[in-house]
Amino acid sequence: MNEKDYYSIWTNYFKNQPEELEKTKIVFNNFQVNSEWFLKLPQITKKGILFSDDFGYSSFNELTVLKICQEICYRLFRKMNLFIAFDKGIKNRLKNNVIRLFSQFGHVIYTYPETFELDENTVRRAFVLNKFNGGIYFKFDDYDKKWYFKIFDNEGYLLDSEKQTNFLNNLIYNDKDIILSSEIRINELSYNKVFYLENNENKYFDKFSFHNNKNFMIDFECKVNRDKINLTNLFNNLCFLNNKNTRKKAELIWHLNSESQVSAQAMIKNKLVDLSTNDLIFIYSDYMRHSWEGKKILLPLNTSEELILYLEKNKIDYIFEDELCNEKDIIFYASANQFSSGYDYSFSLNNIDFIANLTYLLGAYSKKNNLLDSKIDTFHKEYGLFSSEKLSYSFNLELESELDNIFRVNQAFTKNLFISEITRWTYEDVHNKFIYKIKLNDSSVLKIWYKKKQKKLNILVESFNDPKRNFLTNQFKFQAIKNNINKIVSLIKK
């Protein structure tokens, strides 16, 4: 299609929507300059199809959304049973036209009543309780303030990336008219049935046992930034039962911050200590690994070397989150201190299943002569071949290119160490921009990333402890690496 075709499609569709029509005319006033971003496609991510802020085929506008839905309809047989869900905040016109479009193609539409509070977990569970041919979910991310278009298969898993790519690749070549049904026909699902299923369906854990007034066997607390987070009913119930049942000092404390990121403290050797993200992944993996055979887990790029050693020794298959993958191939996903359940729908980082299951598990451990103490001890002694520390610096990301001039292969790093390998990461999410993984010639590792909200450059130093050398020699080397990093960052910031 050429410029005239695009102009005709967009102006005809938005002729009765003055605001969108004005945006369209601005684009075509200088189409040669604006065409690159106007014709850009939405991005496929592990959260679904992500729309940009640029007005055009990549933005969350009615025409783009309906064109994607139209592409889906052309690939379906007629009279399919489809589940569609919408987060609050979506425009009624867009919502109704999506339903009209699918109805025009003869599909039967199911959805939840508008009055119910939804989250991704309950949306996906609808596919477990009912037999649908597929579905879509318009999800608004409270943290990055963006809309995602999730396309599900008949089991409630995100459609594989290749099929999503095919939908999007045809988007800018689709010149077919949008024809909408004259009436809105929907069938409302019973949310209560799905809620019941949420509380009772799991073959690995006595999931959400608090709904039956059972005890988690551990005194715990949930500290939540309620002003910033929209909690689901399930998580509210967990917090309520905990507050009602806790009678003494907590042995486990969960923290959920304004970015929906999870951290924890647990009683180890009669002392409340911080559990790192790597500790949490280890504890969960150690319990679930036999259930995970034949599946991969998806890890953050800054995962510790000791956790990687543990996974490799125990033959737990893993990949990092910058690698392309489909949801059905992944059994567990941890990203930016957010976690999936570990048994289904791994790209849904809702934290709820993970927190409930791990609370139940740690409660069981606390009743077995503090089994957690010995597990954590064994993990760090057997796989703790590195002395590690995370260094953090205030940093202007505009100085990132300066790092390329400093870190080079074969360059001396300390008096006795040089850089043997550099991996330049290109992956980023709403929380972090990952920059480098640097290996030194003695197997020590540096992992460098930028925390966007805090505007901090983080450097994880993992200094290899050579078993042939004594403790002090290894510690001197560790300190020398940290000292050199401090000098490098100070030099860049001048």
Q: What is the pTM of this model?
A: 0.89
Show Cβ contacts of residue 364 under 8 Å, excluding neighbours closer than 6 positions.
Answer: 217
User: In which order are the strands placed within the sheet that holds 445-451?
Assistant: 386-394, 456-464, 445-451, 432-440, 419-424
pLDDT given for residue 195 in this prediction: 54
DSSP state of 290: G
- Residue in 281, 355, 352 with CA at minimum distance from that of residue 314: 281
Lowest mean pLDDT among 129-133, 256-260, 279-283: 256-260
Confidence of residue 210 (pLDDT cuts 50, 70, 90): very low
The whole-chain average pLDDT of the chain stands at: 88
Answer with the residue of higher pLDDT: 204 or 56: 56
Torsion of CA 149, 151, 157, 160, to 10 degrees: -100
Average of pLDDT values for 480-493?
95
Assign 384 to helix, strand or coil.
coil
Average of pLDDT values for 224-242?
54
Question: Are the beta carbons of 393 and 492 closer than 8 angstroms?
Answer: no
Residue 288 has pLDDT above 80, yes or no: yes
pLDDT given for residue 488 in this prediction: 95
Q: What gap in Å lies between CA 398 and CA 379, rounded to an integer? A: 39
Complete domains list, the chain, with CATH? 40-189 (3.40.120.10), 202-381 (no CATH), 385-493 (3.30.310.50)
pLDDT given for residue 215 in this prediction: 56
Assign 129 to helix, strand or coil.
helix
Answer with the residue of higher pLDDT: 99 or 239: 99
Helical segments of 59-119, H only = 62-74, 92-104
pLDDT given for residue 205 in this prediction: 43
253-269: b or e for each residue (b if 16 or more CB lie within 10 Å)?
bbbbeebbbbbbbbbbe
Two structure tokens written together for 390: 């995370």
